[in-house]
Structure 1
C-alpha cells in the first residue's frame, strides 16, 4: 500500500483478535495508506512474530470493485509461494474490519527508497531487477498478470531482498481467443495496448517493469505530462528521453522492455539473459591493476558491470560504496596480505 488517503475512519483497536483461531495480535506502527485501507505492523502476542496487516473497513468492502479486488488478492496470493512475492499468511474479520495478514517487508518499498535517494545506481538496479524478474516469471508461469507493477509495489525486507506485492489488480491471463480489455493500473505505467483496449496480458507487465527500471535509473518516469491525453499520446508513441549517464546496456534493456508492440517485448526468462544482467558480476576477478577509483581517489569502486550479492541497509537512504568482500580479498591478496573471512579467521588458500 502506498501513501494516500484511506479516509477518516478510526484505526482498529490496539489488539486484534482472530476469532476463528483465537490468535491475538498487537497493532504497531502505520506502514502505509491506500485508497481503501491502511497497513500496520502487527505482532502475534504469543509467538512475537511480526506481520504486515492490511486493514480494510468492512463498510468499504461494499463499495463497487473494492470487495472484488480484496477477494481476488486473497484468493490468488494464498496459493503463491516464491521468495520474491509477498506471502499471505492468513485473513480474518471482526465487527469493523477485514484483515489480510501479510509477510512484513520492514524496509518499505522501492518508491520510498527513490524518494530518499532520487535514483539508484546500475549495480543496485541489476540486483533488484534479477529478483523482480524471478518473481514475475513465477507469476506468469502460473498464468497470472499483475497489472500494476510499479516501485511502490516492490517491497524490501529487513535483509534487503525485494518482493512483488499488492495483487489486488492481478488477473488470470485471458484464454486463447479472448482478451481482458479493462483499463486499470497506474497511468504512467500503462502499456500502449492497454490504452487502446487491445488486452492486458503478460507483455503489459514487462512494459510496466521497464518503466520502473527507467524510473529507478533516472529518478523520473519515462512518460510524464500534466494532462492525461498528452501522457497517453507520449506512451503510444513510445518516445522517451534517455539521459547521457546511462550505460549502453541499460539503454538497450529499456528499449527492449518498452517496445510499442507487445509481441516484441521479451519475457522474464529472456530478460534474465540480457547483457545488462549477465555482464561481469565480480569486477575484482580482473585484478587490481587499473581498478577505477572513487571521487576521493582512494577506495577502489565497482564499475557499472558489478552486481552486488547483497545491499547494506544504508542503501535505503544513501549511495552504497561497492567494495564487497570478494573485491577486498583480491586487493589484499594483490598486496601480499592474507584475506580475512567474515568470521574473523584466515581465508583458505586460493588455487591458481
Structure 2
C-alpha cells in the first residue's frame, strides 16, 4: 500500500515551511519525517511530519487528524496542524516529536522493563485511555508500536498515538473490527467490542513490557491466532503477586470480569499501591 513516489530527502523543504532532517519511519499510510520549522509559527521547532500520498494512507490519516484535533491531554500525542493538497492527493499531518520513539523498540533495546518502569508506562497510557473512554471513544488498536515516549527533564512521558481505528462507543459493526494479533480481546473476534476490550489490549501491552513478547507468542501464526481467540495466554512468571493479579484481571477472557473502563483501572492501581 505504501507509495514511495513522493519521498523527500534530507535538506528538502516541505510546503515551504519544514526542512527535512531525517526519516523517522515508513508505514502503509506513508512516511514520517523529522523536520525543523524554517518559518512561520513553528520556526526553529523540531517536529514530526507524516506525509500520506496513497488513498489508504490519506483516508487513515484524515480520520486520525479529524479526531486528534479535538483532543488535548498530556498522555495523548499532540497534533499541531494538517493540510490536504488536493492537486497532489497528499495529506500532511504535523505532530509533536516523540524523541524516545515507540514503546516496542524501547522495550527491546532495554531487554524488558522492570516492574516499576512497566507500571509507569501503564499509568501514563491508562490516563490517556481514561480521557478517551470518558468521551465515548474506544481506541481499538492499543499495542507497543502505538505508544510513544518523550523526554521531559530526566524522565520519559509515554503517550498514546495512532487513532486511525478509533471507534465511537456503540457505533461498531462486525465489518469494522480490526486490530493487531496478539493484542486483540477474545470478544472482538466474535464481532463485539467494548471499552474493556481496550483494557485487554492494555494488559497485553503490560505483558510485553515485562517479557518482550505478547501473551500469545508462537512461531506458528495459526497457533498464535488460536491462543489469542481463546484468550489462552502464557502464564506470567517472575513477577510480583500484585502484578500477576493485575495481569490476570486485565487478561480475563470474560470482558465483564475485567476493569470496565480505564478510569476503573486507574482507581485499582492507586488503591493497590501500584503507582
TM-score, normalisation: structure 1: 0.70
Give the structure 2 partner of residue 274 of structure 1.
Answer: 268
Give the structure 1 partner of residue 210 of structure 2.
Answer: 217
Offset of residue 227 of structure 1: 4.0
Q: Give yes or no for contact 2:52–2:58 (8 Å, CA) kept in 1.
A: no
Is 2:257 aligned against 1:264?
Answer: yes
2:184 alignment partner, one of 190, 196, 214: 190
Deviates more, 1:106-115 or 1:228-237: 228-237
2:135 alignment partner, one of 142, 150, 171: 142
Q: Describe how 1:301-316 pairs up with structure 2 within 5 A.
A: none
Counterpart-to-counterpart distance in 2, 1:8 and 1:74: 21
Bigger CA radius of gyration? 1
Is 2:81 aligned against 1:90?
Answer: yes
Counterpart-to-counterpart distance in 1, 2:44 and 2:97: 13
1:77-109 deviations in whole A, cap 9, x for unaligned?
Answer: 110000000011111244363211011111101
Counterpart-to-counterpart distance in 2, 1:273 and 1:164: 19
The structure where strand makes up a greater share of residues is 2
* Number of residues of Structure 1 aligned to a counterpart in Structure 2: 263
Give the structure 1 partner of residue 163 of structure 2.
Answer: 167
1:133 partner SS: helix
The structure where helix makes up a greater share of residues is 2
Is 2:116 aligned against 1:123?
Answer: yes
Give the structure 2 partner of residue 53 of structure 1.
Answer: 49
Offset of residue 9 of structure 1: 3.0
1:155 alignment partner, one of 148, 163, 188: 148
Is 2:248 aligned against 1:255?
Answer: yes
Counterpart-to-counterpart distance in 2, 1:69 and 1:174: 21
1:155-203 deviations in whole A, cap 9, x for unaligned?
Answer: 111221111011011121115xxx4323311111111111111x22211
1:237-276 deviations in whole A, cap 9, x for unaligned?
Answer: 322223431110111111111111112210212212325x
Offset of residue 7 of structure 1: 4.9
Q: Give yes or no for contact 2:29–2:60 (8 Å, CA) kept in 1.
A: no
Counterpart-to-counterpart distance in 2, 1:243 and 1:257: 13
Counterpart-to-counterpart distance in 1, 2:190 and 2:272: 36
TM-score, normalisation: structure 2: 0.88
1:102 partner SS: strand
Counterpart-to-counterpart distance in 1, 2:272 and 2:184: 29
Q: Give yes or no for contact 2:181–2:228 (8 Å, CA) kept in 1.
A: no
1:164–1:83 CA distance, 2 compared to 1 (3 A) = same
1:148 partner SS: coil
List runs of 5+ in structure 2 lacking aligned partners.
none
1:189 partner SS: coil
Counterpart-to-counterpart distance in 2, 1:142 and 1:223: 31
Q: Give yes or no for contact 2:216–2:233 (8 Å, CA) kept in 1.
A: yes
Is 2:67 aligned against 1:76?
Answer: yes
List runs of 5+ in structure 1 lacking aligned partners.
18-22, 281-304, 308-352
Q: Give yes or no for contact 2:77–2:95 (8 Å, CA) kept in 1.
A: yes
